[in-house]
Amino acid sequence: MDKNTKSLGQPILNQIFKLIPSSEIEKAAKKRKSNHYYKTLPVRVHLVSLLYGVFSYCQGLRELCEGLLACEGKLTHLGLNKVPARSTLSDANRGRSYLVFEDIYFALLNRYVGFISDSRLKGLSIRNLKIIDSTTISLFSEILQGVGRNTKDGSRKKGGLKVHSLMDAFSGVVEFCKITAAKVNDRKFLYKLKLPPNSYIVMDKAYNVYAQFDKWTKSQIWFVTRMKTNAKYHVIKVLQDYSKKANRKGVLKEQIISIGYKQLGEEIRLRLRRIEYRDEQGRLYVFLTNDFVQKASKIALIYKYRWMIELLFKQIKQNFPVRYFWGENTNAIKTQIYCVLIAQLLMVVIRKKSATKKSFANMITVVRLHLMSYVNLLEFIKDTHLAWRKTYQTPQLFSG
């Protein structure tokens, strides 16, 4: 390459970072007073450093800092004139509140959610569909309270954290999350949610909290979940019953039921809809919902969209560093998690802007290998070979 790379624009990492407005970083830093005690490493440089580590899949701070040497002189307008010392970055990860990175993530989400959202989901006419689930990240440490019994050989028990998430089905990104110790019960996450009327929630049976279901019903918040096998209920009315038909697929039974829960020593009965459903593979599902309008088959379809959050967790775990942490205290881990969420959101935005047909995994791999390459990002994502040849065109050789 005999071209002067400085004439080719900016490296890919810089182009990615342009999606984060400086005003949002400054606003979050001012709100959390995050630059008061870390003047040698402002929030902006801290974020650039950590996002470099996320995109390049660094497994430790030493690897991250040594890799950042490739950025010196190329990201000066982002404030990265000199690579921060490993001790400086470690101190900031440990001491600077993760809340500043949380604020940046949600500011970006508010900015881009309208752009990345699909107008509709196939087969559904409902709007505002949310999916709830959690994923556990194992840590062999006493961070965030170890899970399980102590081992007989004296080794440390497995610790871990749990990321409780509310996903917007139309945008494909995390809309709200809480990071807790792995032993915290999933149901506690429901009490943290603030949902507007006419929201539609899909969740697994781990979130069966009848008192919360009752509050949602009164607030016109609709849900679909699976019923626990040991649930006690009373059948009010049978709407349809095909359960005796051999080899039937689809809706087997539809009932209106009542389920009781206790509040202040008094039993309260909640009226719900119970649907038995068998899929094409012969697996039996029993759904609970407070929606009495949608057809039973539509309720099954709504629940089917719950797999989207499983794909999101898989996408994050496979493509970003959430098995290797750059700090051993709670704050450092939460900081890294929010930087991973920022990176995932930015890649969703870039994927939409570039209109690429590449898979998410393929796209992030290409970006990882070319973080410091001077090539147009959107063109590079859409057609990697064409964009590269266009930028670094080899002169033709003529024989005498």
Residue written as token pair 């098995």: 323
pLDDT, one tens digit per residue, over 153-203 is: 443 444 578 999 999 998 989 999 999 888 889 999 999 999 999 999 999
Is the CB of residue 392 less than 8 Å from the CB of residue 399? no
Q: Please tell me the predicted confidence (pLDDT) of residue 181.
A: 86
Residues 304/204, Cβ–Cβ less than 8 Å? no
**Predicted pLDDT of residue 395:** 53
Q: What is the pLDDT of residue 141?
A: 54
Q: Which two tokens stand for residue 243?
A: 């359960």
For residue 390, give both structure tokens.
Answer: 């266009």
Per-residue model confidence (pLDDT) at position 128? 85
> What's the gap between Cα 209 and its chain centre?
24
Alpha-carbon gap, residue 10 to 19, rounded angstroms: 14
Phi, psi (degrees; rounded to nearest 5) at 266:
-110, 140
DSSP result, 40-64: TS-HHHHHHHHHHHHHTT-SSHHHH
pLDDT at 147: 43
Identify whether the C-beta of residue 113 lies closer than 8 Å to the C-beta of residue 171.
yes
Tell me the β-bridge partners of 374: 11
- Alpha helices by DSSP H, listed for the chain, are 12-17, 22-32, 43-55, 61-68, 86-95, 99-116, 210-218, 296-304, 307-319, 330-354, 360-369, 377-382, 384-391
What is residue 216's predicted lDDT score, i.e. its pLDDT? 96
Type of residue at 361:
A
Query: CA–CA distance from 244 to each of 16, 274, 283 (Å)?
Result: 58, 17, 16
Are 286 and 273 in contact by the 8 Å Cβ rule? The answer is no
330-354 and 86-95 helices, crossing angle to 10°: 100
Q: Answer whether 257's CB lies under 8 Å from 235's CB.
A: yes
DSSP 161-218: EEEEEEEETTTTEEEEEEEEETTS-GGGGGGG----TT-EEE--GGG--HHHHHHHHH
- How distant, in Å, are the alpha carbons of 58, 153, 242 from that of 61? 8, 31, 60
- Quick: pLDDT tens for 42-91: 999 999 999 999 999 998 999 999 998 888 777 776 777 888 899 999 99
In eight-state DSSP terms, residue 132 is E
The parts of the chain modelled with pLDDT lower than 50 are 1-7, 145-158, 396-400
